[in-house]
Structure formats: structure tokens, C-alpha cells
Chain A
Amino acid sequence: MKPELHTAAMKTVSSTQAVENAIRVLSKEAAGAPRWLITVPNQHDPSLQMGWNMAPAPGATGRGKFVHQELNPATGEKLSEARETAGGDFLYRLHFNLHYLPVTWGRWLVGFCAMFMLVAIISGVITHKHIFKDFFTFRPGKGQRSWLDAHSTVAVLALPYHLMVTYTGLVMLMFMYMPGGVQVAYHGNEEAFFAEAFPTAENKKPADIAAPLAPLAPMIEQARAHWNGGEVHRVIINNPGDAHATINITRQREVKLSSIRQAMQFDGVTGELIKTSGDVSSKAAESRGVMMGLHLAHFTDGWFRFLYFLCGLAGYAMVATGALLWAVKKRNEQAKVLAKGGRLSVGLRLVEALNIGVIAGLPIAYASYFWANRLLPVGMETRAEAEVSCFFIAWGVALLLAQIKPTRRMWQIFLGIGGTMFISLPLLNVFTTGSHLGVTLFQGRGPSAVAGFDLFTLVFGFALLYAAHHLQKKKRALKTRVKIPSQPVVSPKGHEPVTAVASAKRTRDDLISGEAT
């Protein structure tokens, strides 16, 4: 989401040179800072990321404020013109930290919901009667039955993914959710446990004696040799310019499931190797690493990563169809009351409105976030937070409107708006960025991830518009059904045929606020 960097992405530079460029800038701008941090460019982030911690304020504990900069890896020039944005990082953090809430609260809430999800998945498998018989079965246009089919098909076909991602998500934060074991075994000293379970290099206190920093190129060479040619991911320099300087080098991810990364620590003055970590890890640590790795999916790229994305979409469809199924079922149960001119129960009305607000409203929120990223002025104050506000304002308005008028018309409007906003994103890119589809796809200059994103917004936008159009067709079909008086219509439960007049009443009520059946 930083179009300014898309050109830099196409240049390649050796990691040694990139690190040396960063060190040159750091020693000029951050001399005396207690900690420097350099992330070498990779295919997901083309820029050379670096930063430093300021010395903590007197009396304050922990690390000082972090200053962050992006450099052109080939020259070491600042990419100060890159727009300020939280980018995909916001969406990533949203899924386990939430927003506007203290992080701890957010994580507890997410864990609570994830536990419900896990229980729902397992009980769903148990209550599903024909797992194999209905494996490929989807029968559209049959009301409640179709929603059940859709729900169980996306759930069963991607079941390994749903189970895995829910369970490993819980494992990810297990020390927070279930601290009991550690508390008892280590007598309340959690830090001792972490030091033992996840050994990382220790950093010394500064000696307050000035000493020049050893050159990094030999250390990077040594690390590469130790990792059989593995590339460097991140370099952290503690107490640079001090006699107690240490340098930690982490390896880039490999093609393996476990998320545990190899790392090496060097003495910052003599350049000697102090220790290596992550080479061999215990079975328990490795098991946890594999679970984290499965969840993070850092081990693969390109087309195989696309499978994760596809399964994620299946998960979204599973939740959405499940919520709709519940509403459709309740509505059928209340059909008799509705036929007599009664009102929907409060619970059902609430759920139907929430369905509109979440299922059709969320795409609008996402599209608004991307629109804000392109349109908000580049130099504006707290730009990143303004983008996030756009996301929540759009979503909030959608949720509110849906509560006020939860009708089929609302579904159509929301789907239409979401679809139009997504489709027009690539068009917006033509006017606001230099890396639109014309450049990335038709001239073949990449980056391919940017082209892929634009293409996906087109596909997704058209899918939303199709859904809106489908509802319109449905509405027309229902209207014609109302107009033919002689045809007996079977009631939703299929027990007694009701006369067309009564059913006309019912279908009109359906129109007021029904899901696409």
C-alpha cells in the first residue's frame, strides 16, 4: 500500500551492501542510540527498513521511543516520500488485537471467540449427517436447504484448514490464555520459563567506553556459511559504538513448517561469534513452532500461498452462510406469524440486520480503507490513523443503516456499493499511482503482487455486483409468483399447500426483509 516503493521493488541488491548502506546512515543519524535495527529487503517488502531506539527518558523503564525509516537499499537514500500508512499491518493486527481497545482485552475477546469457533467446528462435524454422501452437493434455489448445502460444502471441503487455523490461532496465544502450567512449574517466574523455552541471545548493559563497531560484512559471510547459504533477514545492533556492543543476525525463513528461525550473535567490537540459536530446538519447542508456522504460512510463496487465501475465503463463506442459514430457518419458523401480519421476533430482526451490516457492510469498510489509502493527502498529519478511521466509520455507518432498515433492498444497496468501490480501485490507481494495472500487468513490469491485488479487487467487485443483481432477479421472480393467482404454492415446510393469496402475503413479507432464498 505504498505505491512510491513499487519501482524500488524491481532493483535487487546484495544484503551485505544493503546492511552497509543502513549502517552508514545510522552512524550519522543515530549515533549514541542504544539499539539499531535493520531489516533486509525481501520480496514482500522491497525497501530497506531500519530504525533505532532513542535512549529512554530519565527514570523511565524499558526501551525508548522507536524511530523508523525506509531507505533505498541500493543507495541508502531516504525514501521519505513514501506515504504514511498502516497498510496490511492494520488488517493483520485487527485480526488478533482488534482496535480502539487495550491489546490485552482485544486478545482475550478474540481468544474467547476462537474457542467458540473451535467448539462450533467440532460440533458441526458431529451434527452433519452425510459428510461423504453430501461431499460435493450444492443444490441452489431451494431456500433453507441451499443455505445448509452451501454451509456444509465450504465447511467440509476446507475442514482441515478451518480446524488448523482455529486451533493454531489459540496455540499462538496459549501462554496468555492458559498461564497456569507455567505459573506452577516455575513458581510464578514466567520470565525464567521464556528464557529456558525460547533461548535468545542476551544483551549486555553498555560499558560506557567508546569502541568502534566491527565491520559487518565478515559476520554476514560467516552467518551465511553457517546456514548453508541462507540469507539474512534482520540485523540488530545493541549498544553500537560501545565496548559492549553485540550484533544479532536472524536468518530469512526457509521452506520448513516450523516458525523457529536460526540466529547468530556476534561481539560488536571484535567481530567474534558469541552464540548461535535455533539450530537444534527441543521437540516441544519445535511442535509449537510448527503450529505457529502452519498459522503464519511463511513457509511458502506464490501459488501455494494462494491456496491459504482460497481456504480463508471458504472460511468467510462458512461463517456467512451459517449466519444466514440461522436467520432463514428462524424466518421459516415464524412464517405463520408473519402470514397473519405479525412482526418478526426481536432476536431475528437483530440478527438479520447484523448479517447485512457484517456480510455486506464489511466489504464496504475494506474498500473504504483502500480508497482512503489512495486519496488522503500524502503529507497529512496522523495519516495512518485517518485511514483506519475511514475503515471504522464506513463500517459503523453500514451497521447502523442496516439496523434501521434491515431489508432486501439494503442488501442490494450495500452489495452494489461494495462491488462498485472494489471495481473502481484499479481505476483509481491509474489516477493516483504510477503502478496501476497498465504498468504492472500490460507492460509486465510488476510487482506481480500489486497486479494480483488489483485483479482480485476486480473479481471480488464483480462477484458482489453479481450478488446484488441476483437479488434483483429473485425479487422479480417473487413478484411474478405473486401475480399468478391460480397456482398453488407449497408452504416453506412443505406440509400443507396454502392458497396463493395467503402465500402472496407471505412472499411480500419476505420481500420486506428476507435473505436470498
Chain B
Amino acid sequence: MLAGFVTGLSLAYGSWTALCIGMDRNYADSHGRGKAPEEKNRMICRLLGTIGLLLTLFVCVKLQGWSVGAVMCIGTMTAGALLLTLLLTYAPEHVVSAGKLATAVSVLSSLLWLLA
């Protein structure tokens, strides 16, 4: 249960990071003032973020079934976004690496959860 929860939360966090990097203002926050993402990178980030959030829904549904899982997915996404907002405010330079780390954690814990 815990491994599944961690999978969902870190995946949601990683996906929000991707979506956020795909937005001009937040990109400038984490990469330096005045910088904007390339059009191609922007699209990739947004696509990855969207897919990640859909996967989060899938993780929650697998954990708790369709009805409860859908509700829990919304909660997981809220928690992930709140965490990201805090990091983006107080340590914007670490946003990208933390997002990558979270995604890696989600892959690892998903292995733990699915194989255990």
C-alpha cells in the first residue's frame, strides 16, 4: 500500500514538474530570468506531464478500484502540486532535478509495489 502510494505521489509530482517547466514564467523561475523554453521542449514537457498525470490516475485506480481510486487520484495530485509550489518558491533552481528524482523514485517504488 505504501509503495503504491509513493508511486502515485512521486509520479504526480514529476508530472506537475514537467507541466510547470513547460510554462514560460515557471521556466524562467527555474532557469534564470528572461529565459524561455524552446517550442519543441515546451511541447515535450507538456506531453510528458499529461501522460504522467494519466498514469497517476492509472496507479490510483489499480490501488483502490475505479470509484475510490479516482477520488484518491485527485488528492494525490493536490499533494504533489502543493509540494512543487513550495519548492518552486523557495528553491527554484532545484525544481528540474527534484522532478527527475521524483520520476526515478516512482519507477523504483512501482517495481517494489508490483513485484512484492
Contact = CB atoms under 8 A, between A and B. Distances in A.
B75 interface: yes
B20 A304 contact: no
Contacts of A310: 75, 78-79, 82
Nearest to A138: B89
A257 B25 contact: no
B76 A314 contact: no
B54 interface: no
Interface in B1-36: 1-2, 5, 16, 20, 23, 25-26
B25 A157 contact: no
Contacts, number: 76
B84 interface: yes
Contacts of B89: 138-140
Given A160-B74, A308-B75, A303 B1 contact: yes
Contacts of A140: 89
Interface in B73-102: 74-76, 78-79, 81-82, 84-86, 88-89
A303 B68 CA distance: 13
B112 interface: no
A311 interface: yes
A304 B79 contact: no
Given A136-B26, A307-B72, A157 B64 contact: no
A136 B81 contact: yes
Contacts of A108: none
Interface in A82-140: 132-133, 135-140
Contacts of B74: 160-161
Contacts of A290: 67
Nearest to A307: B75
B75 to A, nearest CB: 3
Contacts of B20: 135-136
A256 interface: yes
B84 to A, nearest CB: 6
Contacts of B25: 133, 137
B71 interface: yes
B78 A160 contact: yes
Interface residues of A, number: 29
Interface residues of B, number: 26
A137 B29 CA distance: 10
B71 A294 contact: yes
Contact of A153 (B1, B75, B76, B85): B85
A488 B68 CA distance: 57
A303 B5 contact: yes
Interface in A298-334: 299-300, 302-304, 307-308, 310-311, 314
A255 interface: yes
Given A161-B78, A304-B75, A257 B84 contact: no
A177 B5 CA distance: 38
Interface string A227-258: 00000000000000000000000000001110
A326 B76 CA distance: 30
A338 interface: no
Nearest to A159: B78
Nearest to A294: B71
Contacts of A303: 1-2, 5
A255 B68 contact: yes
Given A137-B25, A138-B89, A256 B67 contact: yes
B85 A257 contact: no
A158 interface: yes
Nearest to B80: A157
A133 B68 contact: no
A255 B64 contact: yes
A137 B74 CA distance: 20
A8 B16 CA distance: 44
24 contacts: A135-B20, A135-B23, A136-B26, A137-B85, A139-B89, A140-B89, A157-B78, A157-B81, A157-B85, A160-B78, A161-B74, A161-B75, A255-B64, A255-B65, A256-B68, A257-B68, A294-B71, A300-B64, A303-B1, A304-B64, A307-B76, A307-B78, A308-B75, A311-B75
Given A135-B23, A158-B82, A303-B1, 10 more contacts: A136-B84, A137-B25, A157-B85, A161-B75, A161-B78, A255-B68, A256-B67, A257-B68, A300-B68, A311-B75
**What 7 pairs across the A-B complex have the smallest Cβ distances?**
A307-B75, A303-B5, A157-B81, A138-B89, A257-B67, A160-B74, A158-B78
Interface of A: 132-133, 135-140, 153-154, 157-158, 160-161, 255-257, 290, 294, 299-300, 302-304, 307-308, 310-311, 314
